[in-house]
């Protein structure tokens, strides 16, 4: 994948059909039936199996890539819709053979994202949609049938994949939040529009624009996750149901707003029982010399049903002291919000400080600390379900 469409700042929409960008510049690269569309992923490798993949056709000609997000729904780019009769070949890595062919009966869009409702089920292998954007600097993968060179070649007959680096947030072809990435071993171009971007096996983006050489902008899936789920009628991954009394924090990955170089955020859910708030034996998380609002986030690979949490504060009687206050937040609809109906947030040394709340289902739980007279820290965080 390499080339992309040109929009405003020299970027091009990636569809292989005539598309007008938000800035008014049209990309005239029509693919009639049996005619290869514009460029595909430039570089990268071919894919042997992708049961979630969908090739999108306009008026009989290939135009865009996409992904299956539910039995009868495909996620692609809004600029791929041009008023012609649309069909989808789903579940095959071959653009022109295999899989299931279905007709698009209805569309819905937000920013440069579009959901195509199909006239039949196309299987049960769906992508997992991410609830949060990937970390800046992370390695992501992009997929598509787009052109394999910048000019003079057609769309790939077989699905391709390339690795890219997520560099920063940007805007898609229609002004929505986007993930801007740069080439590692390949880049997007014509025909890759609507194709997915993945991080940690979850779809984080949908191809919108690119420069055909290195840079591409993919509409953010997490930014529109609530809308997507409202259209396809699913609340997302089903919460896990671990045995009663299981500390769910142990299976999460911890991250922090800031961590002192000699401390470790992994300490907050390592299961080591503190001897006291000034525990000098076990690892701990601290933010010295940073003060103000600090946070630790627990992330699970799938949704958890949570009803309570406990935190054990780190206090060394010096640069790290008890916080002035704290609260819990959970990820909901792509944004963090305070847990509802919290029983209260005690602040005490040498023991766990517990809070209960009505059940929430989430993939991320955040402990937000507000410093008082010094920096803040935690020795352990616990999270429990019903």
Does the pLDDT of residue 363 top 70, yes or no? yes
Q: Give the Cα separation of 6 and 232 in Å (integer).
A: 31
The lowest-confidence range among 25-39, 90-104, 137-151 is 25-39
Does the pLDDT of residue 370 top 60, yes or no? yes
Kindly give the pairing relationship between strand 253-256 and strand 335-338: unpaired
Does the pLDDT of residue 74 top 90, yes or no? yes
Q: Give the Cα separation of 206 and 65 in Å (integer).
A: 9
240 touches 304 (CB < 8 A): yes
pLDDT digits (tens, 9 = 90+) for 32-41: 333 333 223 5
pLDDT confidence band for 13 (50 / 70 / 90):
low
CB pairs under 8 A, 24+ apart, for 343-352? 347/313, 347/322, 347/323, 348/313, 348/322, 349/276, 349/277, 349/313, 349/315, 349/322, 350/276, 350/277, 351/312, 352/310, 352/311, 352/312, 352/380, 352/382
Does the pLDDT of residue 197 top 60, yes or no? yes
CATH code reported for the domain at 1-236? 2.40.10.120
187 touches 113 (CB < 8 A): no
The lowest-confidence range among 100-109, 141-150, 307-316 is 141-150
Q: How far apart are the first and last CA of the chain?
A: 47
Q: What does the block give as tokens for 343? A: 């029983």
Give the sign of the dihedral formed by CA 144, CA 148, CA 154, CA 158.
negative
Kindly give the pairing relationship between strand 113-118 and strand 73-76: antiparallel
Share of the chain above pLDDT 70, in %: 83
Cis peptide bond N-terminal to 289, omega within 30: yes
Q: Give the Cα separation of 366 and 348 in Å (integer).
A: 19
Q: Report residue 302: phi and psi, to 5°.
A: -145, 165
pLDDT confidence band for 212 (50 / 70 / 90):
confident
Q: What is the pLDDT of residue 84?
A: 79
3-state secondary structure of 138: coil
pLDDT digits (tens, 9 = 90+) for 238-289: 444 455 578 999 999 999 999 999 999 999 999 998 889 999 888 999 999 9
Q: Give the Cα separation of 205 and 181 in Å (integer).
A: 11
Share of the chain above pLDDT 90, in %: 59
Beta bridge partners of 180: 168, 217
Give the sign of the dihedral formed by CA 237, CA 102, CA 189, CA 16.
negative
Q: What is the pLDDT of residue 333?
A: 76
Averaged over 47-62, what is the pLDDT? 89
Does the pLDDT of residue 22 top 70, yes or no? no
23 touches 9 (CB < 8 A): no
Q: What is the pLDDT of residue 192?
A: 83
Q: What is the pLDDT of residue 150?
A: 65
Q: What is the pLDDT of residue 14?
A: 53
Q: What pTM was estimated for this model as a whole?
A: 0.55
Q: What does the block give as tokens for 315? A: 């206090």
Query: Degrees (nearest 5) of the Cα angle 117, 111, 187?
Result: 90
Q: Which fold has domain 248-384?
A: Jelly Rolls (2.60.120)
The structural domains of the chain, with segments of one domain joined by +, span 1-236, 248-384
Q: Give the Cα separation of 164 and 214 in Å (integer).
A: 9
146 touches 159 (CB < 8 A): no
Q: Is 261 exposed, middle or buried (0-12, 13-18, 19+ CB in 10 A)?
A: exposed
Average pLDDT, the chain: 83
Q: What is the pLDDT of residue 324?
A: 95
Residues 6+ apart with CB under 8 A from 107: 81, 86, 114, 115, 116, 117
């Amino acid at each position: 994948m390499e080339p992309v469409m040109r929009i405003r700042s020299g970027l091009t929409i990636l569809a292989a059909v005539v598309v007008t960008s938000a800035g008014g510049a049209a990309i005239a690269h029509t693919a009639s039936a049996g005619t290869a569309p514009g460029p595909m992923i430039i570089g990268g490798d071919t894919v042997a199996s992708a049961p979630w993949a969908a090739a999108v056709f306009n008026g009989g000609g290939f135009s865009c890539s996409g992904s299956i997000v539910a039995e009868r729904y495909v996620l692609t780019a809004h600029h791929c819709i041009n008023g012609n009769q649309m069909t989808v070949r789903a579940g095959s890595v071959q653009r022109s053979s295999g899989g299931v062919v279905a007709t698009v009966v209805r569309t819905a869009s937000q920013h440069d994202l579009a959901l195509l409702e199909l006239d039949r089920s196309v299987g049960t292998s769906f992508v997992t949609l991410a609830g949060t954007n990937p970390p800046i600097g992370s390695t992501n993968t992009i997929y598509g049938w787009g052109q394999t060179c910048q000019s003079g070649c057609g769309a790939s007959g077989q699905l391709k994949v390339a690795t890219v680096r997520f560099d920063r947030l940007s805007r898609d072809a229609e002004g929505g939040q986007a993930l801007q990435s740069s080439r590692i071993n390949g880049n997007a171009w014509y025909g890759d529009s609507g194709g997915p971007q993945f991080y940690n096996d979850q779809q984080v983006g949908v191809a919108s624009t690119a420069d055909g050489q290195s840079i591409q902008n993919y509409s953010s899936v997490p930014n529109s996750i609530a809308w997507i789920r409202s259209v396809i009628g699913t609340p997302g991954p089903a919460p896990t149901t671990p045995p009663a009394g299981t500390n769910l924090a142990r299976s999460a990955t911890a991250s922090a707003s800031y961590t002192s170089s000699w401390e470790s955020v992994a300490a907050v859910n390592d299961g080591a029982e503190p001897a006291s708030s000034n525990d000098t034996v076990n690892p701990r998380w601290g933010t010295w010399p940073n003060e103000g609002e600090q946070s630790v986030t627990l992330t699970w690979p799938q949704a958890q049903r949570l009803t309570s949490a406990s935190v054990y504060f780190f206090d060394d009687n010096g640069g790290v002291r008890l916080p002035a206050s704290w609260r819990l937040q959970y990820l909901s609809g792509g944004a963090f919000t305070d847990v509802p109906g919290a029983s209260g947030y005690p602040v005490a040394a040498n023991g766990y400080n517990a809070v209960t709340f009505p059940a929430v289902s989430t993939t991320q739980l955040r402990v937000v600390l507000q410093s008082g007279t010094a920096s803040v820290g935690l020795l352990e965080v616990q999270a429990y379900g019903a």
